[in-house]
């Protein structure tokens, strides 16, 4: 048996390739048919890849939008948790029912969260982060909820009135 060095010394690369690759005899119509099948497969792969790239680009733009919002002091009514969740579902091009199935949740519960009839369950932010494969971290979802809660708490006079009745003695500090 010949060693690799001897084989490479005695034969050219073309001769080695020809000895391993079997040429099939095909008619022109069969070659054309195979070429069309390969072209069709390439187009399908390219369109799938392009669609995924578009979704990823949209998700990254959404992430940067959230980052800017979280770095800003002002509360933005258009970037509530519900609004962000709704936008996320639209960006990934899924229907609510399909998305609910992806995250193991009833579609009605998801709808109630989106329409602000229900608060998200504990750990829901983690589920969203896992679903986005970390593109939108759980920390961002938590901060969006916190920002919304802070705004609601500080700007709800009913809460202030109710809670002021519970304070029997407050500190007397001269300013």
Residue 94 in any domain: the answer is yes
Which whole number is the average pLDDT over 4-24?
Answer: 73
Q: Write the CATH number for 116.
A: 1.10.260
The yes-or-no verdict on residue 16 having pLDDT over 90 is no
- Alpha carbons 163 and 76: distance in angstroms, whole number: 26
Q: Residue 155 — pLDDT band, cuts 50, 70, 90?
A: very high
Residue 123 in any domain: the answer is yes
Residue 17 in any domain: the answer is no
Number of structural domains found in the chain? 1
Residue 132 in any domain: the answer is yes
pLDDT at 38: 80
Residue 114 in any domain: the answer is yes
Residue 111 in any domain: the answer is yes
Residue 92 in any domain: the answer is yes
pLDDT at 146: 96
31-75 pLDDT, tens per residue?
778 778 888 877 777 766 777 888 999 999 999 999 999 999 999
Residue 77: give the domain boundaries.
61-156
Residue 85 in any domain: the answer is yes
The yes-or-no verdict on residue 21 having pLDDT over 70 is no
């Amino acid at each position: 048996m010949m060693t690799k060095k001897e084989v490479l010394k005695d034969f050219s690369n073309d001769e080695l390739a020809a000895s391993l690759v079997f040429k099939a005899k095909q008619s022109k119509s069969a070659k054309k048919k195979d070429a069309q099948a390969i072209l069709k497969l390439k187009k399908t792969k390219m369109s799938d890849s392009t669609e995924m790239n578009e979704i990823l680009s949209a998700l990254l733009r959404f992430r940067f939008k959230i980052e800017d919002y979280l770095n800003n002091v002002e509360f933005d009514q258009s970037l509530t948790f519900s609004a962000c969740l709704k936008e996320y579902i639209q960006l990934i091009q899924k229907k609510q029912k399909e998305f609910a199935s992806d995250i193991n949740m009833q579609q009605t519960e998801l709808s109630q969260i989106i329409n602000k009839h229900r608060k998200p369950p504990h750990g829901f932010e983690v589920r969203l982060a896992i679903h986005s494969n970390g593109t939108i971290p759980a920390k961002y979802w938590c901060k969006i909820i916190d920002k919304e809660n802070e705004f609601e708490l500080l700007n709800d006079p009913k809460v202030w009135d109710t809670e002021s009745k519970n304070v029997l003695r407050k500190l007397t500090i001269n300013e």
